[in-house]
């Protein structure tokens, strides 16, 4: 027997067995993906400490428990009162803030707000409404202001900015205080002085940290006072623009009229609109899926009685009802104005329904 060959074969099978064992172990121990990390970073330390008194330095820092990143930090960062030369940098787990050496106001509460600009490095889970607060004097302002955002239509509240602006401000360029609402539309401002503010809420569509009233939807409430209680002001958010539908051409209307006159009744449907009471004039439009448009004006003298409009035989298909309430009586949809302190004309909630051929439909309308 050739013992050297036998020994070599044993070594071969030993290595083979070991290889298969390692492969098997590797397959069995294949890691499974865990749940997505949704936890924002945690503050380990900060300087100055929250609410620190007699601080007159020109630099600050916050250290987190994990690596962080910044998103639109420059536009999100707001200092109240203003700090000249304010800068912020992120390195590893540290957020460093500096400003020019200057004489800070005596007996004043300072606050630097970062909004939701700071998040963890992996998933960018934001630290909500991050802020630093200190005082140059013997106390920190302790009042607060709570607000609930009430949109006219559904909106992701986290995409909004809420500003407190000094009352009776003609131009709105920067806030006195800034925050982001929670997922429920609630926002709280802490460490406020005894004062009255105008509340502005808007959607920063171009992410520049400023409000563009011509292109960014907004809402407001003026004269909200800071206090020590938990009462919440309701702030309307006029997050919609109304565009008056374009009237049909004469040729198109003539073709629809011919079709309604010549079609068999079983190929059309009879439509009656049920109009609720209203104390203001309503302008409305009924649009068929073909583009066929009918306009209506419901006058304001109908304060208590429900009325009916028989439109007779109409095209079957899907209809959309839209319009607005003319609160100022100018026969036009008027947008909100911060400077005039006026809300926009309320826009009716869009309603859709279907009229089937050879059916009689009484369709109730909603003017809210």
* Within a domain: 11: no
CATH of the domain at 182: 2.60.40.10
Q: Which of 139, 161, 182 is the last residue of a domain?
A: 139
Within 8 A by CB and 6+ apart from 9, the residues are none
- Is 205 found in the same domain as 289? no
CA–CA dist 321, 353 (Å, integer): 8
- Is 153 found in the same domain as 129? no
- Is 111 found in the same domain as 77? yes
What pLDDT was estimated at residue 353?
98
- Is 151 found in the same domain as 187? yes
CATH of the domain at 258: 2.60.40
Q: Which of 139, 159, 176 is the last residue of a domain?
A: 139
What pLDDT was estimated at residue 206?
81
What pLDDT was estimated at residue 303?
59
* Within a domain: 32: no
- Is 340 found in the same domain as 272? yes
Give the residue ranges of the chain where pLDDT is below 70. 1-34, 301-304
CATH of the domain at 117: 2.60.40.1220
- Is 172 found in the same domain as 267? no
- Is 162 found in the same domain as 75? no
Render the burial of 305-327: b for 16+ CB within 10 Å, e for the rest.
eeeeeebeebbbeebebbbbbbe
- Is 358 found in the same domain as 266? yes
* Within a domain: 9: no
76: helix, strand or coil: helix
57: helix, strand or coil: coil
- Is 353 found in the same domain as 255? yes
Q: Residues 111, 86: contact at Cβ < 8 Å?
A: no
Closest CA to 347 of 287, 285, 289: 285
* Entry pTM: 0.73
Within 8 A by CB and 6+ apart from 236, the residues are 150, 151, 152, 219, 220, 221, 343
- Is 258 found in the same domain as 352? yes
* Within a domain: 348: yes
- Is 129 found in the same domain as 150? no
Closest CA to 112 of 186, 177, 51: 177
Which residues span the domain enclosing 209?
A: 141-239
Q: Residues 342, 308: contact at Cβ < 8 Å?
A: no
- Is 352 found in the same domain as 271? yes
Within 8 A by CB and 6+ apart from 301, the residues are none
What pLDDT was estimated at residue 26?
44
How many CA atoms within 13 Å lie on the side-chain side of 321? Answer: 20
Q: Which of 139, 161, 194 is the last residue of a domain?
A: 139
Looking at the structure of the chain, the number of domains it has is 3
Within 8 A by CB and 6+ apart from 209, the residues are 72, 74, 75, 76
Q: How far apart are the first and last CA of the chain?
A: 101
Structure tokens belonging to residue 143? 């009042």
* Within a domain: 29: no
* Within a domain: 8: no
* Within a domain: 74: yes
* Within a domain: 2: no
What pLDDT was estimated at residue 297?
93
């Amino acid at each position: 027997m050739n013992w050297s060959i036998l020994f070599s074969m044993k070594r071969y099978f030993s290595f083979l067995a070991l290889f298969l064992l390692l492969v098997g172990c590797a397959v069995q121990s294949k890691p499974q993906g865990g749940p997505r990390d949704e936890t924002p970073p945690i503050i380990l330390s900060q300087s100055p400490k929250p609410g620190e008194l007699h601080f007159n330095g020109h630099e600050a820092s916050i250290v987190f428990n994990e690596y962080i990143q910044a998103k639109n930090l420059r536009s999100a960062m707001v200092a109240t009162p203003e700090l000249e030369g304010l800068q912020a940098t992120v390195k590893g787990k540290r957020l460093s803030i500096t400003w020019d050496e200057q004489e800070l106001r005596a007996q004043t509460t300072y606050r630097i707000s970062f909004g939701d600009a700071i998040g963890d490095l992996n998933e960018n889970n934001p630290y909500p409404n991050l802020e630093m607060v200190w005082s140059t004097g013997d106390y920190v302002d302790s009042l607060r202001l709570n607000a609930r955002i009430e949109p006219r239509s559904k909106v992701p509240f986290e995409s909004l900015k809420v500003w407190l602006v000094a009352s009776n401000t003609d131009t709105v360029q920067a806030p006195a205080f800034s925050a982001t609402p929670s997922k429920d539309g609630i926002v709280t401002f802490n460490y406020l002085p005894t004062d009255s503010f105008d509340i502005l809420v808007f959607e920063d569509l171009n992410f520049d940290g400023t409000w563009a009233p011509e292109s960014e939807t907004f809402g407001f409430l003026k004269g909200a006072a800071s206090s020590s209680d938990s009462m919440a002001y309701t702030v309307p958010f006029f997050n919609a623009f109304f565009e008056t539908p374009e009237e049909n051409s004469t040729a198109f209307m003539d073709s629809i009229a011919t079709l309604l006159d010549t079609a068999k009744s079983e190929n059309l449907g009879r439509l009656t609109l049920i109009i609720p009471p209203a104390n203001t004039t309503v302008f409305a439009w009924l649009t068929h899926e073909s583009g066929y448009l009918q306009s209506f004006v419901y006058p304001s003298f109908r304060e208590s009685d429900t009325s009916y409009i028989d439109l007779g035989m109409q095209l079957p298909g899907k209809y959309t009802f839209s319009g607005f309430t003319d609160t100022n009586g100018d026969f036009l949809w008027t947008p909100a104005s911060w400077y005039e302190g006026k809300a926009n004309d309320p826009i009716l909630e869009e309603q859709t329904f279907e009229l089937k051929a050879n059916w009689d439909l009484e369709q109730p309308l909603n003017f809210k």
